[in-house]
Amino acid sequence: MNQETIKYAKRIDKLTGSAIREIFKYANVPGLISFAGGNPGKFALPVELVAQISHDLMLKKGNELLQYGQTEGYLPLRESLIPYLTKTFGVNAKLSEVLITTGSMQGFDLMLKSLINPGDAVLTESPAFLGALQAMNAYEANIISVKSDSQGIDIDHLQEMMKRHHPKLLYIIPTFQNPTGISLSLERR
Protein backbone atom coordinates (compact mmCIF):
# COMPACT_ATOMS: atom_id res chain seq x y z
CA MET A 1 0.00 0.00 0.00
CA ASN A 2 1.22 3.51 -0.83
CA GLN A 3 2.17 5.15 2.48
CA GLU A 4 1.19 8.58 1.15
CA THR A 5 -2.43 7.53 0.58
CA ILE A 6 -2.90 6.36 4.19
CA LYS A 7 -4.72 8.91 6.33
CA TYR A 8 -2.88 8.61 9.64
CA ALA A 9 -4.35 9.84 12.92
CA LYS A 10 -3.31 13.41 13.80
CA ARG A 11 -1.21 12.25 16.76
CA ILE A 12 1.08 10.38 14.34
CA ASP A 13 2.28 13.78 13.04
CA LYS A 14 3.93 14.21 16.43
CA LEU A 15 6.01 11.05 16.02
CA THR A 16 9.50 11.36 14.62
CA GLY A 17 11.94 8.58 13.78
CA SER A 18 13.36 6.68 16.71
CA ALA A 19 16.86 7.71 17.73
CA ILE A 20 17.05 4.49 19.73
CA ARG A 21 16.40 2.38 16.64
CA GLU A 22 19.11 4.37 14.83
CA ILE A 23 21.56 3.68 17.66
CA PHE A 24 20.74 -0.04 17.68
CA LYS A 25 21.53 -0.32 13.95
CA TYR A 26 25.17 0.23 14.86
CA ALA A 27 25.23 -2.14 17.82
CA ASN A 28 25.85 -5.21 15.65
CA VAL A 29 28.41 -3.79 13.23
CA PRO A 30 31.29 -6.33 13.39
CA GLY A 31 34.37 -4.91 15.09
CA LEU A 32 32.56 -1.82 16.40
CA ILE A 33 32.24 -1.42 20.15
CA SER A 34 29.34 1.01 20.49
CA PHE A 35 28.81 2.84 23.77
CA ALA A 36 25.72 4.58 22.38
CA GLY A 37 23.12 1.99 23.45
CA GLY A 38 22.93 0.22 26.82
CA ASN A 39 23.15 -3.32 25.46
CA PRO A 40 24.39 -6.05 27.82
CA GLY A 41 27.48 -7.90 26.62
CA LYS A 42 26.89 -11.24 24.91
CA PHE A 43 28.62 -13.00 27.82
CA ALA A 44 25.87 -11.73 30.15
CA LEU A 45 23.05 -13.39 28.19
CA PRO A 46 22.30 -16.87 29.60
CA VAL A 47 21.38 -18.42 26.24
CA GLU A 48 21.83 -22.08 27.17
CA LEU A 49 20.06 -21.79 30.50
CA VAL A 50 17.06 -20.04 28.93
CA ALA A 51 16.98 -22.60 26.10
CA GLN A 52 16.94 -25.43 28.64
CA ILE A 53 14.21 -23.83 30.78
CA SER A 54 12.08 -23.01 27.70
CA HIS A 55 12.44 -26.57 26.45
CA ASP A 56 11.46 -28.08 29.83
CA LEU A 57 8.49 -25.72 30.21
CA MET A 58 7.17 -26.46 26.72
CA LEU A 59 7.26 -30.19 27.39
CA LYS A 60 5.60 -29.86 30.82
CA LYS A 61 3.14 -26.98 30.27
CA GLY A 62 3.13 -26.36 26.50
CA ASN A 63 -0.64 -26.54 26.10
CA GLU A 64 -1.20 -24.01 28.86
CA LEU A 65 1.57 -21.68 27.69
CA LEU A 66 0.57 -21.59 24.02
CA GLN A 67 -3.12 -21.21 24.81
CA TYR A 68 -4.86 -17.86 25.41
CA GLY A 69 -4.46 -16.83 29.02
CA GLN A 70 -5.40 -14.09 31.44
CA THR A 71 -4.76 -10.58 30.10
CA GLU A 72 -3.14 -9.63 33.42
CA GLY A 73 -0.43 -12.26 32.85
CA TYR A 74 0.40 -15.84 33.81
CA LEU A 75 -1.19 -16.43 37.21
CA PRO A 76 1.65 -18.42 38.86
CA LEU A 77 4.08 -15.66 37.80
CA ARG A 78 1.82 -12.93 39.19
CA GLU A 79 1.41 -14.84 42.46
CA SER A 80 5.14 -15.40 42.80
CA LEU A 81 5.78 -11.67 42.30
CA ILE A 82 3.86 -10.69 45.45
CA PRO A 83 6.45 -12.01 47.98
CA TYR A 84 9.24 -10.86 45.62
CA LEU A 85 7.91 -7.28 45.59
CA THR A 86 7.63 -7.25 49.39
CA LYS A 87 11.10 -8.66 49.94
CA THR A 88 12.90 -6.65 47.27
CA PHE A 89 11.06 -3.31 47.25
CA GLY A 90 8.99 -3.30 50.48
CA VAL A 91 5.82 -3.09 48.33
CA ASN A 92 2.76 -4.92 49.65
CA ALA A 93 0.77 -5.52 46.47
CA LYS A 94 -2.51 -7.40 46.10
CA LEU A 95 -2.86 -9.89 43.27
CA SER A 96 -5.33 -7.57 41.52
CA GLU A 97 -2.58 -4.92 41.42
CA VAL A 98 0.01 -7.09 39.67
CA LEU A 99 0.07 -6.85 35.86
CA ILE A 100 2.70 -8.47 33.66
CA THR A 101 3.94 -6.21 30.85
CA THR A 102 6.45 -6.62 28.06
CA GLY A 103 9.11 -4.51 29.74
CA SER A 104 8.87 -1.24 31.61
CA MET A 105 8.00 0.76 28.50
CA GLN A 106 4.73 -1.07 28.04
CA GLY A 107 3.87 -0.29 31.66
CA PHE A 108 4.84 3.34 31.08
CA ASP A 109 2.75 3.45 27.91
CA LEU A 110 -0.30 2.06 29.74
CA MET A 111 0.17 4.61 32.50
CA LEU A 112 0.33 7.47 29.96
CA LYS A 113 -2.73 6.10 28.19
CA SER A 114 -4.64 6.23 31.49
CA LEU A 115 -3.46 9.66 32.60
CA ILE A 116 -2.56 11.92 29.68
CA ASN A 117 -4.97 13.96 27.60
CA PRO A 118 -3.56 15.87 24.61
CA GLY A 119 -1.85 19.02 25.85
CA ASP A 120 -1.44 17.86 29.47
CA ALA A 121 1.82 19.12 30.94
CA VAL A 122 4.51 16.59 31.85
CA LEU A 123 7.75 17.72 33.48
CA THR A 124 11.00 15.90 32.74
CA GLU A 125 14.62 16.14 33.68
CA SER A 126 16.90 17.62 31.05
CA PRO A 127 18.12 15.61 29.22
CA ALA A 128 15.59 12.78 29.59
CA PHE A 129 15.38 9.17 28.35
CA LEU A 130 14.51 9.25 24.62
CA GLY A 131 12.14 6.28 24.77
CA ALA A 132 10.03 7.97 27.45
CA LEU A 133 9.92 11.24 25.48
CA GLN A 134 8.68 9.37 22.42
CA ALA A 135 5.98 7.59 24.42
CA MET A 136 4.82 10.93 25.89
CA ASN A 137 4.82 12.50 22.42
CA ALA A 138 2.61 9.71 21.14
CA TYR A 139 -0.03 10.75 23.71
CA GLU A 140 0.44 14.42 22.73
CA ALA A 141 1.73 15.47 26.13
CA ASN A 142 3.11 18.99 26.51
CA ILE A 143 6.64 18.02 27.57
CA ILE A 144 8.43 20.65 29.66
CA SER A 145 12.11 20.33 30.57
CA VAL A 146 13.26 21.15 34.07
CA LYS A 147 16.88 22.24 34.53
CA SER A 148 19.18 19.53 35.85
CA ASP A 149 22.81 19.58 36.98
CA SER A 150 25.40 17.21 38.45
CA GLN A 151 23.15 16.63 41.52
CA GLY A 152 20.08 15.78 39.42
CA ILE A 153 16.95 17.85 38.90
CA ASP A 154 17.00 21.51 40.04
CA ILE A 155 14.38 21.72 42.82
CA ASP A 156 13.86 25.49 42.62
CA HIS A 157 13.23 25.32 38.90
CA LEU A 158 10.99 22.29 39.42
CA GLN A 159 8.83 24.23 41.89
CA GLU A 160 8.64 27.16 39.50
CA MET A 161 7.58 24.87 36.60
CA MET A 162 5.02 23.10 38.78
CA LYS A 163 3.39 26.40 39.70
CA ARG A 164 3.45 27.61 36.12
CA HIS A 165 2.24 24.47 34.30
CA HIS A 166 0.27 22.37 36.85
CA PRO A 167 1.72 19.14 35.41
CA LYS A 168 0.03 15.75 35.44
CA LEU A 169 3.36 13.99 35.91
CA LEU A 170 7.01 14.42 36.65
CA TYR A 171 9.13 11.88 34.77
CA ILE A 172 12.37 11.38 36.69
CA ILE A 173 15.01 8.64 37.06
CA PRO A 174 16.51 9.32 40.50
CA THR A 175 19.22 6.65 40.37
CA PHE A 176 21.70 6.29 37.45
CA GLN A 177 19.65 8.53 35.22
CA ASN A 178 19.56 7.73 31.51
CA PRO A 179 21.34 9.31 29.62
CA THR A 180 23.48 11.22 32.16
CA GLY A 181 24.20 8.44 34.68
CA ILE A 182 23.64 10.98 37.49
CA SER A 183 21.99 10.00 40.80
CA LEU A 184 19.78 12.56 42.53
CA SER A 185 21.55 13.82 45.66
CA LEU A 186 20.14 12.79 49.07
CA GLU A 187 19.30 16.39 49.92
CA ARG A 188 17.24 16.84 46.75
CA ARG A 189 15.47 13.53 47.25
Ligand X SMILES: Cc1ncc(COP(=O)(O)O)c(C=O)c1O
Which residues make up the interface to ligand X (CB under 6 A)?
Answer: 38, 103-105, 129, 131, 173, 178
Cβ nearer to ligand X, comparing 131 with 174: 131
CB neighbourhood size of 171 (10 A)? 20
Chain residue at closest Cβ approach to ligand X: 103
Distance (Å, whole) CA 173 – CA 108: 13
Distance CA 1, CA 128 (A): 36
State the minimum distance, in angstroms, from the CB of residue 134 to ligand X: 11
Phi, psi (rounded to 5 degrees) for 102? -85, 75
Q: Which is nearer to ligand X, 19 or 58 (CB)?
A: 19
The least distance separating ligand X from the CB of residue 10, rounded to whole angstroms, comes to 26
Q: How far is the CB of 182 from ligand X (least distance, A)?
A: 13
In the beta sheet, which residues pair with residue 149?
A: 152
Output 13 or 114, the one with its CB closest to ligand X.
114
Pick the closer one to ligand X by CB: 153 or 173. 173
User: What are the φ/ψ torsions at residue 36 (nearest 5 degrees)?
Assistant: -75, -40
